[in-house]
Amino acid sequence: MPGDSLLPTATERETQSIPGVGAPSRWQTLRHYVSAAVLPMVVTRFMLVLVGIITVDYILPLINPNQPIYPDPSIRHLHIMLYLMWQHFDSGFYISIASGGYWAAPTLKGMSNWAFFPLYPLLMFIFAFVIGTSHAGAYSIAGLLVSFMATLVAGIYLFRITKLEYSEQVANRAVWLLAVFPMSFYLTAIYPESLALALSITCLYYARRRAWWRAGICGGLAAITHPQGVLLIAPVGYELWQTLAEQVAPLEQAKNWQASIKKWCHSRFVAVWRAFRRWQTWAALAALCLIPLGLGLFCLYGYIKVHTFTPFALTEQNGWGRHFINPLQLIQQMIQHPRPASPYDWNFYGLNLVMLFFGLFMLIPIFKRLPFAYGLYTLLNVLLPVTAGETNSVARFTLGLFPIYMALALWCSRGTWVRQERRYSLLLVVFSLLLPLFMAMFTLGIYSLS
């Protein structure tokens, strides 16, 4: 594509030929992706379905139907159970958008479906149209299909991007760690998490390959899938900046650290301007602008429909009481004022706090071991959710921090073989114990898992 040739494409290990054999055929490549990236996702999804069925058949009957948390009684029928177990909490808002569009302007004073971004329900609408909207569960089934397909794409591109940076072993382990991550049941739920994750990974994958238009398109789609999607402009912009600087003024080894800093500043802030003399640079910048353009289109649609450019922010404030706050101040409040455990509390205080500090801690190995763009992506996506004045759903948002799986897989691939296997087995066991527990809670519709 135009602008994709600012620098030669990064050499990918995944496209290297096997010595003495030649380049793999498309069929061999497909089988390789199926076994390394698709199989982990399919196996874990199948196991989660079994957990959901067991939960409905053996745990749900023990619950008092007169208390607030009780799923739809029709979930007891197997053919309905297979999609209703994935339909909880915000799923109803996405189904409402897919089936009837966004609501009228007066709803912005409360909990409106304008808080939810449009690409995921748009795909649901398309799939439901193919299925047949007369079917009672057409939109639910469509949501499951979109989520499942996006989950497979996320697994494939996590494998590709990790293999691009490291090795096939690290890539395979990263995919398995994503597949069994304690919150990974949300990848299959009627939620946009898998779609946002798939688009974010593909965006950074193509940015690392200097394919700017592909990165821009994926980033723009991510920006109309999830509020965090627009943040991709920062890591992709950083990659473009570094590429331009290396092209016009490659860094050379200096005699001392003062000279190194001087050369770096000259390359990154002075010489880089020479790159703007060529049309390829402007084409790459145009591709980068596709990311905020995605959000801009949603804002324009909001103005046309309800006369405000930010209907999502307005309903978040009016309906959910979310407002901007210093994230450090919120973290301090969380530590000083712990909340008692309760299945009726929409904020799973203990889990969200642990996941928040887990994400913050993982910034250390990510910035240390991975290219800077991944650290920038993780940092912004860790901080943005806690600027809303509450920690609801922090655990779910942690699922989208894909550099965590890369860093953990890299940690499991260092040292002696025995040490590698111990680390990897430990993570798999811990994650695999928590995942079915949280899946059972989600199937029952326990508020704190929202």
Q: Are the beta carbons of 199 and 218 closer than 8 angstroms? A: yes
Report in angstroms the alpha-carbon separations of 2 from 255, 277, 348.
39, 16, 47
Q: With 0-12 CB in 10 A as exposed, 13-18 as middle and 19+ as buried, what is 122? A: middle
- The answer to whether the beta carbons of residues 37 and 249 sit under 8 Å apart is no
Long-range contacts for 316-322 (Cβ within 8 Å, ≥24 apart)? Answer: 316/115, 316/388, 318/108, 318/109, 318/110, 319/109, 319/110, 319/111, 319/112, 319/115, 320/111, 320/115, 321/389, 321/390, 322/388, 322/389, 322/390
Average pLDDT score over residue span 404-427: 96
Report pLDDT for 248.
81
pTM of the predicted structure, to 2 decimals: 0.92
Give the residue-averaged pLDDT of 144-167. Answer: 97
- The per-residue b/e assignment along 398-433, b for 16 or more CB within 10 angstroms, e otherwise, is bbbbbbbbbbbbbbbbeeeeeebeebbeebbeebbe
pLDDT number for residue 23: 62
Q: Does the pLDDT at position 15 exceed 70?
A: no
Token representation of residue 316 = 């978040």
pLDDT at position 18: 40
Which of 73, 32, 334 minimizes the C-alpha distance to 156?
32
Distance between CA 383 and CA 378 in Å, rounded? 9
Give the rounded percent of residues in the chain with a pLDDT score beyond 70. Answer: 94
Instruction: For residues 400 and 404, give the distance between their C-alpha atoms in angstroms, rounded to a whole number.
Output: 9
Report the percentage of the chain scoring pLDDT > 90. 72
Q: Which two tokens stand for residue 18?
A: 């096997």
Given a cut of 70, whether residue 13 has pLDDT beyond it is no
Q: Judge whether residue 118 has pLDDT over 60.
A: yes
> What is the C-alpha to C-alpha distance for residues 264 and 272, in angstroms, rounded to an integer?
11
Return the domain boundaries, the chain: 24-449
Report the SS3 class of residue 137. coil
Please provide the DSSP assignment of 194-247 as one string.
HHHHHHHHHHHHHHHTT-HHHHHHHHHHHHTT-GGGGGGHHHHHHHHHHHHHHH
Burial-class residue 293 by CB neighbours within 10 Å (0-12, 13-18, 19+). middle
Q: Quick one: tokens of 301?
A: 């649609």
Q: Which residue from 148, 140, 136 is spatially nearest to 121, judged by alpha carbons?
A: 140
Indicate if the pLDDT at residue 10 is higher than 60: no
Neighbours of 28 (CB within 10 A): 12
Residue 2 has pLDDT above 70, yes or no: no
135 vs 198, which has greater pLDDT?
Answer: 198
Mean pLDDT of 127-150: 93
Q: How many residues does the chain have?
A: 450
How confident is residue 6, by pLDDT bands cut at 50, 70 and 90? very low
pLDDT of residue 21 exceeding 70, the answer is no
pLDDT reported for residue 8: 39
The mean predicted confidence, pLDDT, of the chain is 91
Lowest mean pLDDT of 122-126, 145-149, 340-344, name the range.
Answer: 340-344
Quick one: pLDDT band at residue 437, thresholds 50, 70, 90?
A: very high
| pLDDT for residue 69 | 87
At 404, the pLDDT band (50, 70, 90 cuts) reads very high
For the segment 81-92, the average pLDDT, to the nearest whole number, is 95
Six token digits for residue 53: 């069925």
Residue type, 215: A
| More confident: 156 or 74 | 156
pLDDT in tens, 350-369: 999 999 999 999 999 999 99
Tens digits of per-residue pLDDT, 287-315?
999 999 999 999 999 999 999 999 999 99
